[in-house]
């Protein structure tokens, strides 16, 4: 048997850059109408991973010419104070999108906070109105990581239409909205979707049926080669830090997929880092630009 070629690497940064180029044009067109998209990024506490994500979101805003409004609150911040800030941001015409970085400290009810965001500014797509519209197939802000996975597939030539997509993970942030988007009629949809999770029996028998396998379970290197069909496309949403004595820091980032062995079996695969991560941020920017475009279209005048 001829040696199989290792999988094509689907590059998040390359696909993300092509979308950012489109966004720059849209931002320039909005500037001509006197509109600058604005994103408020709220961080509560000092979770190291959240700090990295938030920094990256703010930096990308700067690079694209989106106004970024930073609100860093201490871990001891009360829910009431946070809700007060959200009310102010809802009323601020310069702010088109509001992002509250998750997770929040334990004493704050995350759902109550998400519910307080004006759905018109819900660029994360986490508000119940956005989730409901997504399920109904109405236009809405699509959650950034699932939307990023779908754009990665489409722009790499792997349209999910008609394919069996198996998602491992059922979180509100990734698994559930991703399943809804993939089963939708229209671009990026029309897939046959199976959602597996920690209580699924015979998981490997199901993942092996996937034409497209999406791992979003939060367990380092959980998907092994024996769980993957020959020639499958594998999208790895996981970001996990594991011990690695060969690194200066003593740790390294890995996904939810056992990359090297799976790469030998798959047709295409996303690496970690360099896969889904940059796409999540780019889709957030896209939603923010869209939010600004909608308010501009509604008022027909400057928003700032
Ligand atoms: N925490 C992990 N992913 C996300 C995300 O996409 N949005 C927010 N707000 N918090 C997150």
Phi-psi region of 57 (alpha: psi -120 to 50; beta: other; left: phi over 0): alpha
Q: Identify the pLDDT of residue 272.
A: 98
With cut-offs at 50, 70 and 90, classify the pLDDT of residue 2.
low
With cut-offs at 50, 70 and 90, classify the pLDDT of residue 1.
low
Q: Is the pLDDT of residue 304 over 80?
A: no
Verify whether ligand 1 is closer than 6 Å to residue 144 (CB atom).
Answer: yes
Distances from the Cα of 185 to the Cα of 127, 135, 170, 289, angstroms: 22, 11, 21, 24
The pLDDT > 90 percentage for the chain reads 95
Give the distance, in angstroms, between the CA of residue 301 and the centroid of all CA atoms in the same chain. 31
Instruction: Among 43, 53, 143, name the best residue to mutate to test ligand 1's pocket (greatest count of ligand atoms within 8 A of Cβ).
Output: 53
With cut-offs at 50, 70 and 90, classify the pLDDT of residue 297.
confident
Which range is least confidently modeled, 2-11, 130-139, 176-185, 198-207? 2-11
Q: Identify the pLDDT of residue 101.
A: 97
Residue pair 236/256 in contact (Cβ under 8 Å)? The answer is yes
Q: Provide CB contacts within 8 A for 22, sequence distance 6+.
A: none
Phi-psi region of 152 (alpha: psi -120 to 50; beta: other; left: phi over 0): alpha
Distance 293 CA to ligand 1 centre (A): 23
pLDDT tens digits, one per residue of 3-56: 578 899 999 999 999 999 999 999 999 999 999 999 999 999 999 999 999 999
With cut-offs at 50, 70 and 90, classify the pLDDT of residue 303.
very low
Express the helix, strand and coil content of the chain in percent, nearest 5 each: 40, 15, 40
Instruction: Among 98, 113, 124, 279, name the best residue to mutate to test ligand 1's pocket (greatest count of ligand atoms within 8 A of Cβ).
Output: 124
With cut-offs at 50, 70 and 90, classify the pLDDT of residue 88.
very high
Q: At 251, give phi and psi (nearest 5°).
A: -140, 165
- Taking the C-alpha atoms of residue 283 and residue 16, their distance in angstroms, rounded to an integer, is 9
Cα torsion for 236, 241, 244, 249, to the nearest 10°?
130
Q: Is the pLDDT of residue 301 over 50?
A: no
269: β partners: 9, 234
Burial of 39 from C-beta contacts in 10 A (0-12 / 13-18 / 19+): buried
- Within the chain, how many helices (H) and strands (E) appear? 10, 11
Written out in words, the top-level CATH class of the domain with range 34-123 is alpha beta
Q: Provide CB contacts within 8 A for 84, sequence distance 6+.
A: none
pLDDT tens digits, one per residue of 240-266: 999 999 999 999 999 999 999 999 999
The domains of the chain are located at 34-123, 143-279
Q: β-strand 192-196 against 233-236: which pairing, if any?
A: unpaired
DSSP 7: P
Verify whether ligand 1 is closer than 6 Å to residue 173 (CB atom).
Answer: yes
Give the distance, in angstroms, between the CA of residue 189 and the centroid of all CA atoms in the same chain. 17
Equal fold, 34-123 vs 143-279: yes
Task: Name the CATH architecture for the domain at 143-279.
Answer: 3-Layer(aba) Sandwich (3.40)
């Amino acid at each position: 048997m001829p040696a199989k070629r290792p999988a094509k690497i689907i590059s998040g940064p390359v696909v993300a850059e092509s979308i950012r180029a489109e966004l720059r044009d849209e931002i320039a067109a909005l500037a001509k109408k006197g509109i600058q998209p604005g994103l408020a990024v709220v961080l509560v506490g000092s979770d190291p991973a959240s700090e990295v994500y938030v920094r990256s979101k703010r930096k990308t805003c700067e690079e694209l010419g989106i106004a970024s409004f930073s609100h860093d609150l201490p871990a001891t911040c009360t829910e009431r104070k946070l809700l007060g800030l959200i009310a102010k941001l809802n009323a601020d015409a310069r702010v088109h999108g509001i992002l509250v970085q998750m997770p929040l400290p334990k004493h704050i009810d995350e759902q109550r906070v998400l519910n307080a965001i004006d759905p018109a500014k819900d660029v994360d797509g986490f508000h119940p109105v956005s989730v409901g519209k997504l399920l109904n197939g109405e236009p809405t802000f699509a959650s950034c990581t699932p939307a990023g996975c779908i754009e990665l597939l489409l722009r790499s030539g792997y349209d999910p239409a008609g394919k069996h997509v198996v998602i491992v993970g059922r979180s509100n942030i990734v698994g559930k909205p991703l399943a809804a988007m993939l089963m939708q009629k229209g671009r990026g949809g029309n897939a046959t979707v199976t959602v597996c999770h920690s209580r699924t029996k015979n998981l490997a028998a199901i993942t092996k049926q996937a034409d497209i396998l999406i791992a979003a379970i939060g367990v380092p290197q959980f998907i092994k080669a024996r769980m993957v069909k020959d020639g499958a496309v594998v999208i790895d949403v996981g970001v996990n830090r594991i011990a690695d004595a060969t690194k200066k820091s003593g740790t390294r980032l890995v996904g939810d997929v056992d990359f090297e062995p799976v790469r030998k079996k798959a047709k295409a695969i996303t690496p970690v880092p360099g896969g889904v991560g940059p796409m999540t941020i780019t889709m957030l920017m896209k939603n923010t630009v869209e939010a600004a475009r909608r308010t501009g279209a509604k008022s027909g005048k400057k928003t700032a």
